Amino acid sequence: MADNFDNPKYSKETRLIYGKDHTDKWDYNHHVIPPLSSSTTYRLDSAQRGAQGFIEFAHHEDEEASSRAPIWIYDRLGEPNKDILEENLAFAEGGETAITFSTGMAAISGVLGVLTRSGDEIIAHRTMYGCTFSLLTNWYPNYNIPVHLINLRDLDAIEETINENTRVIYFETPVNPNLNLVDIEALAAIVKKHNENRDPERHIYIVVDNTFATPFCQRPIELGADFVVHSLTKGIGGFGTDMGGVAIAPRKWQDLLLLYRKDFGGVLATKSAWPVMVYGLPTLALRMKRQIQSATEVAQWLEKHPKVSNVNYPGLESFAQHELAKKQMRDFDGDFAPGALIYFSVAGDTPEKSRLYGETFINRVAADAYTITLAVSLGHTRTLIEHPGSMTHSAIPPDEQLKRGLDPGGIRLSIGLEHPQDIINDLEDSFARI
Ligand SMILES: *Cc1c(COP(=O)(O)O)cnc(C)c1O
């Protein structure tokens, strides 16, 4: 069989099913499915080979060394399963290189860890996943790395906040959980202008958490971002069986990320890399297409429901940033791909009532629905529902939540692979009982 991993004649969707089967990491060309390699340590033949392995580790700029098959030493430094998965993830995102981590949070810590040192500053969007918010507000200030949480939809605010110490601009788009968007191209243009006048060692880098969209719906590097991070636990893994994370990066940051991962230790388990490689990536396009179609149907239905006050779904005409969504959320074929997440609020006269009705509704769903599960996480085969205000985003204090665009009664729905009419019927039954 010919290796067509790099052949643009075949669609990206198809090439992700086959993956890269000729690789200097490991030739698994005769396996139809790559073997699950699970060895913590590697036989080295001689002290010289061992020494050579340590010299070559994280020295990708050494052309001669990187053209040879690698010398595996110890799982924490690198091993075949993860390295092959990384090549496929870099391909999916259109990036130069990818480094996997044990979780999404480990990947975020890894990228911010290599990019910043004491005295640098981070600018981040004011709304984001609760644990990232906690990382940036509870830990980074202790390292003398100030974090400015601003509204990145306001381009003037960005200009006002950038200063000579700014090192990273960090955001999610769509934002977890309210699905607001940040304009990646517009932000990249601002950063490019600032970087022209800066020492290359002091460049500002754009880091995008692309977990909500997945590379199927959006590829931020193609739009001007420098780094992409993902929780592989979510849509890329796709089946809810394993935790993982990845950072997709410019080639010149590969070695530093590998050294960071070696020393901080947040290594993806081979037994978790394997299902992402064998089940997650090959089915990504198929799952996302189905979920987008169902999410569109569910969002349109919710929008017409009298007990719903507000629906945020990038695919709806009524979505405030629908034009931006159409510009930057595109699948591998260039078609509009608004994702599988919906954020909505149950109607109430006051925010307190809305919150109360929202919780009542979620409890009804938890008790009665077959096709909607009350659980955190997202990008699963099953439709998951949760209340960010008291769950995934509880690290953000309640009085801060409103200021950060978090409706106290907001409900996050991650559409799975069920028949969309079943999801709608279960939602209707629960609405009827509140
Ligand atoms: C879940 C999530 C993370 C963290 O990923 P883990 O794999 O749980 O560590 C980061 N960002 C976003 C947007 C997420 O949804």
pLDDT in tens, 8-59: 999 999 999 988 766 666 777 788 888 899 999 999 989 999 898 888 888 8
Question: Cα dist. 363→13, 217, 355, 368, 390 in Å?
Answer: 38, 31, 12, 9, 13
pLDDT tens digits, residue range 195-217?
999 999 999 999 999 999 999 99
Could you report how far apart the first and last alpha carbons of the chain are, in Å? 58
Q: Which of 129, 268, 396 to mutate to test the pocket of ligand 1 (most atoms within 8 A of CB)?
A: 129
Nearest of 167, 162, 78 to residue 116 by alpha carbon: 167
User: In ligand 1, which atom is closest to the CA atom of 105?
Assistant: 9
Ligand 1 centroid, distance to 105 Cα (angstroms): 6
Q: C-alpha angle with apex 412: 106 to 292, nearest 5 degrees?
A: 90
Examine the pLDDT at 85 and tell me if it is beyond 90. yes
| Residues 388, 316: Cα–Cα separation, whole Å | 22
Cα 278 to ligand 1 centroid, rounded to whole Å:
21
DSSP H or E stretch at residue 171? strand 166-172
Distance 174 CA to ligand 1 centre (A): 13
As a whole number of angstroms, the distance between CA 114 and CA 91 comes to 22
In b/e form, how buried is each residue of 229-254, taking b as 16+ CB within 10 angstroms?
A: bbbbbbbbbbbbebbbbbbbbeeebb
Structural domains in the chain, CATH included, are: 12-280 (3.40.640.10), 285-432 (3.90.1150.10)
Ligand 1 center to 102 CA (angstroms): 11
Atom of ligand 1 nearest to the CA of 108: 10
Task: Write the residue with the smallest CA distance to atom 11 of ligand 1.
Answer: 129
Which of 100, 134, 176 maximizes ligand 1 atoms within 8 Å of its Cβ, making it the mutation to test the pocket?
Answer: 176
Q: What is the pLDDT of residue 123?
A: 98
CA of 11 to the centre of ligand 1 (A): 28
**151 strand-pairing partners:** none
SS3 letters for 77-137? CCCHHHHHHHHHHHHHHCCCEEEEECCHHHHHHHHHHHHCCCCCEEEEECCCCHHHHHHHH
Q: Please report which confidence band the pLDDT of residue 133 belongs to, taking 50, 70 and 90 as the band edges.
A: very high
Q: Which of 135, 172, 233 to mutate to test the pocket of ligand 1 (most atoms within 8 A of CB)?
A: 233
Q: Distance from the CA of 6 to the center of ligand 1, in angstroms? A: 30
Residue 231 Cα, ligand 1 centroid: separation in angstroms?
A: 5
Distance, in Å, from the CA atom of 211 to the CA atom of 131, rounded to the nearest integer, reads: 14
Six-digit token string for 66:
């990187």
Whether the pLDDT of residue 353 is over 90: the answer is no
Give pLDDT tens digits for 141-174.
999 999 999 999 999 999 999 999 999 999 999 9
Q: Which atom of ligand 1 is nearest to the CA of 212?
A: 13
- Ligand 1 center to 325 CA (angstroms): 21
Length of the chain measured in residues: 434
Q: Pick from 211, 276, 378 the residue to mutate for probing ligand 1's pocket: most ligand atoms within 8 Å of its CB.
A: 211
Which ligand 1 atom lies nearest to the CA of residue 172? 13
- Average pLDDT taken over every residue of the chain: 93
* Stretch (H or E) spanning 248: strand 245-249
For residue 117, how many other CB atoms are within 10 A of its CB?
A: 11
Note the pTM of the prediction, 2 decimals: 0.96
pLDDT for the residue 66: 61
Ligand 1 atom nearest the C-alpha of 234 is 1
Q: Does residue 1 surpass a pLDDT of 80?
A: no
**SS3 label, residue 219:** coil
Helix, strand, or coil (residue 361): helix
Question: What mean pLDDT is predicted for residues 264-278?
Answer: 97
pLDDT, position 58: 84
Tell me, in angstroms, the distance from the centre of ligand 1 to residue 129's CA.
Answer: 7
Between residues 358 and 21, the one the model is more confident about = 358
pLDDT of 306: 96
Of 306, 286, 257, give the one whose Cα is nearest residue 115.
257
Q: Give the span between the Cα atoms of 56 and 4, in whole angstroms.
A: 29
Q: How far apart are CA 397 and CA 390, in angstroms?
A: 10
Q: Could you give the CA distance from residue 261 to residue 325 in angstroms, rounded to a whole number?
A: 34
| Cβ–Cβ under 8 Å, residues 28 and 84 | yes
Place of tokens 């870099």: 90
Do 85 and 277 meet the contact criterion of CB atoms below 8 Å apart?
yes
**What residue type is assigned to position 206 of the chain?**
I
pLDDT digits (tens, 9 = 90+) for 278-320: 999 999 999 999 999 999 999 999 999 999 999 999 999 999 9
Name, of 127-131, 399-403, 421-425, the range with top average pLDDT. 421-425
CA of 265 to the centre of ligand 1 (A): 18
Q: Residue 428: is its pLDDT beyond 70?
A: yes
369: left (phi over 0), alpha (psi -120 to 50) or beta: beta
Phi, psi of 51 (to 5 degrees): -60, -40
What is the pLDDT at residue 27?
73
Residue range 321-339: mean pLDDT, rounded? 98
76 pLDDT higher than 80: yes
pLDDT of res. 365: 97
Q: Whose CA is closest to atom 2 on ligand 1? A: 231
The pLDDT confidence band at residue 368, using thresholds 50, 70 and 90, is very high
Nearest CA to ligand 1 atom 5: 104
Distance between Cα 363 and ligand 1 center (Å)? 24
Q: Provide the token pair at 136.
A: 């940036």
Identify residue 259 by its one-letter amino acid code: L
Nearest to 96 by CA among 210, 219, 216: 219
CA geometry: angle at 53 spanning 30 and 267, to 5°?
Answer: 75
| pLDDT-based confidence at residue 350 (cuts at 50, 70, 90) | confident
CB 407 within 8 A of CB 310: yes
Spatial distance between the Cα atoms of 171 and 210, rounded to a whole number of angstroms: 9
What percentage of the chain exceeds 90 in pLDDT? 79
Of residues 59 and 266, more confidence is placed in 266
Q: What is the pLDDT of residues 104-113, one digit of tens each?
A: 999 999 999 9
CA of 47 to the centre of ligand 1 (A): 41
Residues with CB under 6 A from ligand 1: 103-105, 129, 131-132, 172, 176, 209, 211-212, 231, 233-234, 243, 245
